[in-house]
Amino acid sequence: MNNVKKIILVSPRGFCAGVTRAIDVVLVAIKKYGAPVYVNHEIVHNKHVIEDLTDKGAIFLKNIKDAPKDRPIIFSAHGVSKKITNYARNNNETIIDATCPLVTKVHVQAKKFYELGFKIILIGHKNHPEVEGTMGQLPVKSIYLVETVKDIDNLNFNENKKIAYLTQTTLSVDDTQNIIVELRKKFPNIKSSPKRDICYATSNRQNAIKEYANKCDAFIVVGSKNSSNSNRLVEVAKNAGCLNSYLLENADSLNVRNYSSFDTIGISSGASVPEVLVENVISKFQKNYSLEIENVSLGEENVQFKLPKKVRNQ
């Protein structure tokens, strides 16, 4: 067994601007309105964040109908359908929308295409809250979900009709590109958003892993099982040539002995993952091995989003 391990710590990693904003919304709402505040769905997909905010006074709901009328209700970073927005408007006194502005941008574009008479194809993962929120901006039969290239066969639109596609913000850039290529073959005049819908944080984390994963014998992406962007990062690491790539919730789920035969281990984290979880994973390795840590980066991120008006300047 090799007692010396090299850790390649890859950046950009961890919190994106949309996640930072969504967590701040909950914290400021608790300060302003007192506990409890209610959140429709998990504010972001990370177990540690949810447990921490629960301790501070947030209650996360699977069904918005369980929110009491007189307490604030917060929409998660993934966004919500029109049906949920309308329900909250009729039933909740205080609504705070923590939808990431980059998800809202996709909603706005969906509505623009619809008003211009386009049939819309959304590339994304079924049952993901962001996809439900985006599809739920429009009437059924005006927006169609495509998860894989195979689904394109089921789209029976006249190719001369006005057709546009949009995507979920946290998809694999490469897989999505393959789907887009096939869509263009079937519908040569298909339109898209003026700028790519996959967000800057998703692209940056994937590009960084693509660059460095092939230098590693194993790769760890710290992130929760239900986090779309974290799961995509594991796929990217494998596709980049590091077949021993794994998603790890936190240091508790790390069995260091599983890494005994690997000399170089890459580490990154999803956009909803606090840095402390990465630090804890490294500490656990440090207790068992002598580490040489190399920090590598494909560039700085300096995106910031303003808080929604209701919780600004508190």
Shortest Cβ distance from residue 101 to ligand SF4 (Å)? 7
Q: Which is nearer to ligand SF4, 229 or 269 (CB)?
A: 229
- Is 42 a known active-site residue? no
Measure the CA–CA gap between 186 and 155, rounded to whole angstroms. 9
Q: Which of 40, 46, 134, 169 binds ligand SF4 (CB under 6 A)?
A: 169
Tell me the site size for ligand SF4, rule CB under 6 A: 15
What span, in angstroms and rounded, lies between the C-alpha atoms of 168 and 151? 16
165 phi and psi, to 5 degrees?
A: -125, 155
Can you name the residues that pair with 268 across neighbouring β-strands? 221
Strands in the chain per DSSP E: 4-11, 37-40, 58-61, 73-75, 95-97, 119-123, 143-146, 163-167, 191-192, 218-222, 245-248, 264-269, 290-297
Nearer to ligand SF4, 72 or 270 (CB): 270
Among residues 262 and 305, whose Cβ is nearest to ligand SF4?
305
Asked if 271 is part of the footprint of ligand SF4 (rule: CB under 6 A), the reply reads: yes
Window of 12-20, 173-181, 208-216, 253-261 that interacts with ligand SF4 by CB under 6 A: 12-20
| Residue from 130, 182, 235, 249 carrying the catalytic annotation | 130
Give residues 201-260 in contact with ligand SF4 (rule: CB under 6 A): 201-202, 229
100 binds ligand SF4 (CB under 6 A): yes
3-state secondary structure 182-193: HHHHHCCCCEEC
Residue placing its CB nearer to ligand SF4 in the complex, 102 or 216: 102
List all residues 6 or more positions away from 33 whose beta carbon is below 8 Å from its beta carbon: 71, 72, 94
Nearer to ligand SF4 among residue 7 and residue 136 (C-beta): 136
Phi, psi of 222 (to 5 degrees): -80, 125
Closest approach of Cβ 7 to ligand SF4, in Å?
25
Asked if 202 and 171 count as a contact pair (C-beta separation under 8 A), the reply is yes
Q: Which stretch binds ligand SF4 (CB under 6 A): 17-25, 33-41, 55-63, 149-157?
A: 17-25
Q: How far is CA 156 from CA 14, 151, 163, 165, 285, in A?
A: 40, 11, 12, 15, 53
What positions carry a catalytic annotation?
Answer: 130
Q: What is the binding site for ligand SF4 (CB under 6 A)?
A: 16-19, 77, 100, 102-103, 169-170, 199, 201-202, 229, 271
